[in-house]
Chain A
């Protein structure tokens, strides 16, 4: 149980276009999901907290107009990278938590490798 599915697993897009990444909780409801970004050989940096039915909470330094987050249902959060540039190329990974007392750990999607050319 507690499966998080992320789609697509990789995407190549042209500079200036927008890319949407989906994160779904398959067997549990997630009122909160988290979006991370990981550059090669670096750690996961939390970008934002996605809240179902309300605005996302962005970490300091993350442009909310560039990284649009929508959490329209209890099982789906989307991250849209708008007007993508080569420096946005990265590994994006989402996670969700069931929460205690059931489970404590975060479950992660498979990640999306974005390449902007």
Chain B
């Protein structure tokens, strides 16, 4: 069974609009972490935002915010005021279990976001 599900293979958004990228996850652990990464065409993986399972507040990092709904097991990424440079692949990822440097992170299938000028 898939642990991380991203149901939107591709999205087109007008520049300056807000966009929500969906992510649902499946785990039986009480302690886990959720991440969003951006991958431009160059291939590098750029960390965007992190949400711990015990964090009560939704994480925010500049134009990025994470809409964390624990009971629904969803961790949607919201990008406000989208820019042309936001066009890229976006991956939702999860770390199961307690945090440690040895904890592996698994990725969803990704959403390709394209920003229209």
- Give residues in A with beta carbon < 8 Å to B: 30-32, 34, 36, 41-46, 49, 51, 91, 93, 95-100, 104-108, 110-111, 113
Contact = CB atoms under 8 A, between A and B. Distances in A.
B43 A97 contact: no
Contacts of A36: 107
Given A43-B110, A91-B43, A97-B105, 17 more contacts: A31-B101, A36-B107, A42-B110, A43-B91, A43-B109, A46-B106, A49-B102, A51-B102, A93-B43, A96-B101, A97-B101, A104-B33, A105-B35, A107-B47, A108-B45, A110-B44, A111-B44
Contacts of B112: 41
Contacts of A99: 99-103
A66 B26 CA distance: 31
Contacts, number: 66
A99 B106 CA distance: 16
B50 A93 contact: no
* Nearest 7 interchain pairs by C-beta: A99-B101, A108-B45, A100-B99, A32-B102, A105-B47, A111-B43, A44-B107
B44 A108 contact: yes
B97 interface: no
A32 B109 CA distance: 24
B12 to A, nearest CB: 16
A91 B107 CA distance: 15
A92 to B, nearest CB: 10
B99 to A, nearest CB: 4
Contact of A32 (B47, B52, B101): B101
